[in-house]
Structure 1
C-alpha cells in the first residue's frame, strides 16, 4: 500500500529551561510509541526542539536568542533522534529554528526510514510583528526573528507517493495547499504552535480551534490529499497554545485527533490511493477548469470592467 500508517506526535509545553537532550528524549519516546502502532512516518510540531521563543523580546544577535537556532541538522544533540528513527525504520517531519549563512528561518525537514533528510521547507507566511506592541498581553514576534522562507512549497517523493510540507500559519492560506495540490501532493505534513490570549479579539480566540480544523479540512478536501498536523500545545511559560493535532482524509474527514494538551501520539492508516478518485473525478484541474476563462476574469477585474455573463464561459 502506498502511504501506510502515519503518526502525529503532539507535544505538550517545552519549558525555557529544558535542554535539547531532554526534548530529544521526549521525541524519541514518542517515536518508539509510534513504532508500536506500526507507523512508518511521524509528524512532529513546529519549533519542536525549543520553547516558543518568539513570545519574548530579544535584540538580534543576543546569545540567548541565537541558542534557540540549529546551525546543522542533525547536530550532536539531535543526532540520537535520527539514529533511533533509522533503527526503527521510521521517517519523520521535524520543525525547528534554522540559522544558515547569516539567515534565520522557521524550518521543517522530511526524512526517510533510514534517517536521511530528503526534503526541506522554510516557512513562508510569517505571522505577528517585528516590534513589540505594549498594548498586547503577549507578543508574537516571528517577523522579528525569521526571514521569509525561500524554498517555495516543494513536493517530495516519499512513502511511495508525493509528500509536501507547511508550517503553522501557512495552513490558513488556500494557496499553500493548492500549490502542492497542483504538484500531485498526496500527503501534506505540518506542525504548529498557535497561541491564544495575546490580546486578540475574544471571538478570534474563542474560534481558534474551529479555524484550525476548518482550514486543514478544507485544504485536504479541495486538493484531494491527506493532511497530518502536529501541535505544540498547553500552558507554556504562562502562555496558552491550542492542541487539536489531527489526521485528515482526502474526504475532508478527521480520522484521528488528540484529546489532550500533552505529549500524545495518534495514528491512522493513510492509503494514498484513497485520494485518487477525488483527484481524477472531483478536482481534476485539467478536465474541469478552463484557463482562458480564469484569465479573462483576471483581466476584467484588473481593468475594472464588469464580469462577462455566465453563459459566455
Structure 2
C-alpha cells in the first residue's frame, strides 16, 4: 500500500512541517508502506516570484526538515519520498526529492532535471537543473523512481527509470489552474502504459486567488487505469494498493521495453542540443536571476 499526502501550505514552514508529520502518522495508521509528499513539501510556493530572500528556505540534507522526516520514517516504518529545497555547498540550489527508508536512512536523492521559467513558476531563478540523472531506489516494498512536476512532460526519464527496474514512479507536483489537469492525467496514463509501471501523482492544494493548487492526486496502474480516482482539493491522504505482479504480466502482453531499439535513437541527444530555434529565440540574459537564463511564455497553464 502506498500513499500520497496533499496539503495546503501557509507562509510558516515550521507549522506546515508539523502538519506534514501529523498526516504521515495518519498514513501509517492506514497501513501505507511508501508515502510520497508534495513538491517542496512544507514550503509556500515561493517560485511564483523571483526574490533573493527565498533562498533562506533552502536546507542541506543534514538540516532540520530531513532530520524530522527521517525520524518519522523510522518511527512509523515508512519509506518516504520527501521533496525539499536543497542547498549544496555555496551557491548550489536544487529542487530535490530525498528518499528515506523505513529505518530512517537516506537511500539517495533525485534532483529535478527540467526546470521551468514562466509566470508563477520562476524556478530557474532558484534551482539548477538536476545533475544526478534518473536513479531508481530499491526498497523492501518496491523499486521506485521520482519525477518532479515539469519532468513528467519529458518521456525519456520515465523510460530510463523503467529500464533501470522502477516498478512505481512518484510524481510530486505543484499544479495550479484546473484546466491543465486533463493534460497531466493523459501524460501520466501514457507513461504508465508505455513503460508498464505504476505512477502516483501527488499535487499541492490551497494557495491564493491568483494561484490556487487543485490537488486531484491520483495513482494509475500499468494498464493506464486509475487505481484511485483523482482526489479533491483538500488536505488529506490518498491511498493506492499496488499489485507488483501485474507489472510482469503487462510487460509480457505489451512488450514495449523488449522491442525498443536503443541503437537507432541517437538523434534524441544529437539533434538541436541547445533546443529548437524557437526556444533559442526566447533567451533573455537579463532574466537570469541566480540560475535562470530563459524566459518563455507560459504553457497552457500548469
Q: TM-score range by the shorter chain?
A: 0.7 to 0.9
Question: Hey, what does 2:125 align to over in structure 1?
Answer: 144
Aligned pair partner of 2:35 in 35, 42, 56: 42
Deviation at 1:36, TM superposition (A): 1.7
Q: Counterpart in 2 of 1:19?
A: 13
| Inter-CA distance 151–78: structure 2 relative to 1 (3 Å threshold) | closer
Who wins on radius of gyration, i.e. which is larger? 1
Q: What is the rounded CA distance, in whole Å, between the counterparts of 1:234 and 1:248 in structure 2? A: 24
| 2:274 corresponds to | none
- How far apart in 2 are the matches of 1:244 and 1:122? 24
- TM norm structure 1: 0.79
After superposition, the Cα gap between the structure-2 partners of 1:298 and 1:108, relative to the gap in structure 1 and judged at 3 Å, is closer
CA contact (8 A) 1:126 1:142 kept: yes
Which of 82, 86, 90 matches 1:98? 86
Distance 1:99 1:221, change over 3 A: same
What displacement does 1:291 show?
5.2
Q: 1:166 aligns with which of 147, 171, 187?
A: 147
Q: Aligned match of 1:275 in 232, 244, 247?
A: 247
2:2 pairs with one of 1, 6, 14: 6
Q: 1:222 aligns with which of 183, 191, 194?
A: 194
Equivalents in 1 of 2:139, 2:4: separation in Å? Answer: 17
Residue range with higher mean Cα deviation, 249-258 or 100-109 = 249-258
> In angstroms, what is the RMSD of aligned CA positions?
2.3
- Seen in structure 2, the aligned counterparts of structure 1 residues 88 and 160 have a Cα distance that, compared at 3 Å, is closer
- For the residues of structure 2 that align with 1:239 and 1:291, how far apart are their CA atoms? 41
> How far 1:280 moved relative to its partner?
2.8
Give secondary structure in 1 for the equivalent of 2:242. strand
Counterpart Cα distance in 2 of 1:65 and 1:290: 45
Where do 4+ consecutive residues of structure 1 move more than 6 Å? none
Question: 2:134 maps to which residue?
Answer: 153
- CA shift, 1:290, in A, is 4.7
Quote the Cα distance in structure 1 between the aligned partners of 2:50 and 2:253.
50
Distance change (3 Å), C-alpha of 1:36 and 1:258 = farther
What runs of 5+ residues in structure 1 fail to find an aligned partner? 130-137, 197-204, 303-313
Give the number of aligned pairs.
269
Alignment of 1:75-224 (within 5 A): 75-101=63-89, 102-129=91-118, 138-196=119-177, 206=179, 208-224=180-196
